[in-house]
Structure 1
Amino acid sequence: MSIRHFTGRPSRLIPSCYDPPILREHAQTPEEYDALLDLDNLTNGRVMAGKGETSEPYQSVRQACFHYASNSRFNIPLEGHGAWYAAELKTAQHEVGYHFALRAIAEGLEEFSTDYTRYSSYVDDDLVEAESLPEYVQALQVDPNDYTVSQRLGERLREQGCAGICYQSQRSAGDSCIALLQEWAVTHIQRHEGYRFSWNPVTEEVEIRRK
């Protein structure tokens, strides 16, 4: 098993409907949103830390990611077993776009669009290189869309206290992604610009436009 030290600020795209709604409605720019969030943290009991200090900004985004776990490559869809998936922006767009297209095709949608917000977190941890694990490589060769083996690996590494995994993207050739398995590994979250993903049924392609 190989370990890679990863340092950087990769991006994660989250549906904008999960942004805190009241603050979002009153903010015209990301900077205004951050300022309103800071004010809210000063008086919001849900985000107060034990010594009277406010919690880290966007902790609700991080907590939701782990609490409301979806069925993904390295985590099982069980409460508390989520993971923070992130990559360079272009790679993150390819990853999200792939699943966006699958849904549009499966449901026969002709008019389909969703807004996403880009978040980033600072990462400075040792991550397990997935491609150094023979069972993972073998499973990819059989079916890259079958998460059975990778989820088992992810849960095992989570139990061992590993910060996370770095792996080659299956949706954007030559690019890499990370999956952080521990909530403590997701730090200094920042909110950035938004994007609209739209399905074009004629070309059967996902069109991405910055908002």
Structure 2
Amino acid sequence: MVRVSQLGDLPAGQLQAYRLVNSKFPPIALFDDVADADEFEALYQIQALTNPRLGNEVGRIELIPRREIPFGIVGCSYAIAPFTHVNPAGSRFSDGRFGVLYLAATVETALAEVRHHQNQYWSGVHGLNYERFVFRGLSCTFAGDAMKDATSMPMSDPIYDPDDYSHAQRLGGALKKAGCPGLRYRSVRSEGDHCWALLSPRPVLSMVQAAHYEMVWNGHITSVSKISEA
């Protein structure tokens, strides 16, 4: 198993990467309407009195300390969502107890990653013969300070197993415990490219909407196309 001490340190600097989110999930306005934690608390309490859906919209806000939320940035809600709407089944670098913001170095790699996971998910849904899914592209600018680098590890390393995430999840847990803000790693779905796993939204400087993309399902994802610009 890869140890945190085996990973290289990345130089500080501003970075850009990409993400796709399903367009049926709108931004959480509450995070974008406030400039700091105090404003958030006040507005949250007020809205909680009148909005019975607030808990579903915001998610499990207790999973993220207020100091980790980058209030005031463009697209704050996009940065926060993976940390308050956590998949209990886990992901590559999380066992389901904490959220991870996954980003890809290029839009093409973001599409390849999402296409794989959509194929995997919908293949398990009985009776789905045809469907179309629309995704919102997001361009994320973030600070790479104090992050670790796993791209020096070969693709044969267990953290890159295409199906078994157990080794990668143990590494992700160790990085989270050590307070590491994020990890650069090789893309498993797009050969030669890399991705990012941010373990905190704090490094995010902005997250803005880019193009929309459509994926068509007909037993598997048969096509991926851009349907609109930002």
TM bin (shorter chain): 0.7 to 0.9
TM-score (norm 2): 0.70
2:77 is the counterpart of 1:60? yes
Q: Once superposed, which parts of structure 1, at least 4 consecutive aligned residues long, lie more than 3 Å away?
A: 50-54, 131-134
TM-score (norm 1): 0.75
Gaps of 5+ in 2: 1-6, 41-70
Residue 117 of structure 1 aligns with which residue?
136
Structure 2 residue identity aligned to 1:149: H
Q: Distance in 2 between matches of 1:63 and 1:116?
A: 18
Q: Distance in 2 between matches of 1:4 and 1:94?
A: 25
How far off its partner does 1:137 sit?
A: 5.3
* 1:108-187 superposed matches below 5 A: 108=126, 109-125=128-144, 126-132=146-152, 138-140=157-159, 143-187=161-205
User: Would you say how many aligned residue pairs link Structure 1 and Structure 2?
Assistant: 184
Residue 4 of structure 1 aligns with which residue?
10
How far off its partner does 1:52 sit?
A: 6.6
Gaps of 5+ in 1: 22-36
Structure 1 residue identity aligned to 2:147: L
Residue 114 of structure 2 aligns with which residue?
96
2:214 is the counterpart of 1:196? yes
Please state whether the residue corresponding to 2:118 is helix, strand or coil.
helix
Q: Indicate if the aligned counterparts of 1:197 and 1:209 stay in contact, CA closer than 8 A.
A: yes
How far off its partner does 1:133 sit?
A: 6.0
Structure 2 residue identity aligned to 1:171: R
Find the partner of 1:106 among 110, 118, 124: 124
Q: Deviations over 1:75-124 (max 9, x none)?
A: 2222xx11111111000000000011112322242212211111122123
Please state whether the residue corresponding to 1:210 is helix, strand or coil.
strand
Residue 33 of structure 1 aligns with which residue?
none
- Quickly say closer, same or farther: Cα 1:90–1:51, change in 2 above 3 A: same
Q: Distance in 1 between matches of 2:221 and 2:137?
A: 21
Q: Distance in 1 between matches of 2:35 and 2:148?
A: 33
Identity of aligned residues (%): 27
Q: Indicate if the aligned counterparts of 1:161 and 1:182 stay in contact, CA closer than 8 A.
A: no
CA RMSD of aligned residues (A): 2.7
Bigger shift: 86-95 or 166-175? 166-175
